[in-house]
Structure 1
């Protein structure tokens, strides 16, 4: 490819995997260069009556549009982590949101042109799969049997489960909060514990 340069990239996003959404359901497309505060201002203006992070313009926009019961975040490639961050912040601001997550692949088409047009080389088209995520947040109950469903609730439940697993892995040794496989360091006291060998035999001590 040393004789080519990338001319343009055409992204073909994946189709929305959530059928039956209301026509006015907002779809927030998150990109790598998107500002999180702008995305949250729009999302909360559609979900909250008085969004705390919105400015006066955001409040006027919220007043002119009816509140929605559902919202969708979608992103691909480097924007996936930013979409997850936005969804988690909205879940903490708007209580009682059900979540449904889908992981898909989109298509990115790259067009490469020859560096020297008179060299007799043709243009190249390269298609590659790009990971994408779709996150549905809904105030209405969703089908809990679907894969990727997460019910509303406390967000510290995951850490509580991790703590319980650590205590069980400790084997009931009476030490709580100790990580599995962690060994305490020996003290530096001068006393010798029972059964500790000093390297000298009993005959040598007599």
Structure 2
């Protein structure tokens, strides 16, 4: 028991040491980066298609949804493409799900990729060299289409609403049921057999008919 408790104490002490070391490293990095400033790069002008919607973390969800539905319904577009990077990916997925609920016959094709972005930091103080830091940012592209795309695509999802075929019944094989006669109905034969030499009040009726009522 003492050996087990000693090993637990060693593990806890090692974790505390690692956490303290990480804090010290982050503090030193922040102090070092205070001597640098980030160089703002001009964003390249990439043409955006009419059916392409680029989603950011600052944009409002309802604005994206209203614009996307207007492209599909009012302008009768066949497909729209939702694109996002980094922290806006989860927001883009939620927007796509809301659009599919409003327009349930849409096909979805999702593609995930990454892009490398290099940030340049210039020193504020003399005697320091510029620093370049490369980071990899995830990207997502969701295509919502009224027509069926390639089903073999890894990111393909069928529409949530699929019209089920109506069951067809073969009426020729079904024979109509014979209607049951009323419990007090009298066959025609009883009228024929009732005619003859009968006497009394039961004249004209057979036995078992209304005569015994």
Distance (whole Å) between structure 1 residues aligned to residue 40 and residue 135 of structure 2: 14
Q: State the secondary structure of the residue aligned to 1:8.
A: coil
In structure 1, stretches of 5+ residues that fail to align are 16-22, 50-65, 156-206
Alignment partner for residue 150 of structure 2, among 119, 139, 143? 143
- Please report how far the alpha carbon of residue 143 of structure 1 lies from its aligned counterpart in structure 2 after TM superposition: 1.3
- Tell me which of 98, 104, 114 is aligned to 1:95: 104
Pick aligned residue for 2:117 from 108, 112, 124: 108
Higher helix share: 2
Q: Please state how far the C-alpha of 1:148 moved relative to its aligned partner.
A: 0.8
Q: Which has the larger radius of gyration?
A: 2
Q: Equivalents in 1 of 2:107, 2:146: separation in Å?
A: 6
Q: Quick check: 2:52–2:82 contact (8 Å CA) kept in 1?
A: yes
The answer (yes or no) to whether the contact 1:11–1:107 under 8 Å persists in 2 is: no
- The offset of 1:97, in angstroms, is 0.4
Query: Could you tell me which of 63, 69, 78 is aligned with 1:69?
Result: 78
Inter-partner Cα distance in structure 1 for 2:148 and 2:50? 15
Q: Given that residues 9 and 109 in structure 1 are in contact (C-alpha distance below 8 angstroms), is that contact kept between their aligned partners in structure 2?
A: no
Shift of 1:41: 1.7
Q: TM-score, normalised by structure 1?
A: 0.56
Q: 1:24 to 1:105 in 2, by over 3 A?
A: closer
2:65 maps to 1:40 = yes
Equivalent position of 2:40 in the other structure: 8
The answer on whether the counterparts of 2:105 and 2:161 sit within 8 Å (CA) in structure 1 is: no
Q: The residue matched to 1:48 in structure 2 has which SS?
A: helix
Structure 2: how far apart are the matches of 1:109 and 1:27? 26
Q: Which has the higher contact order (CA 8 A, sep 6+)?
A: 1
Consecutive unaligned residues in structure 2, runs of 5 or more: 1-28, 163-213
Whichever structure has more strand as a proportion of its residues is 1
Counterpart contact for 1:105–1:130, Cα < 8 Å: yes
Count of paired positions? 129
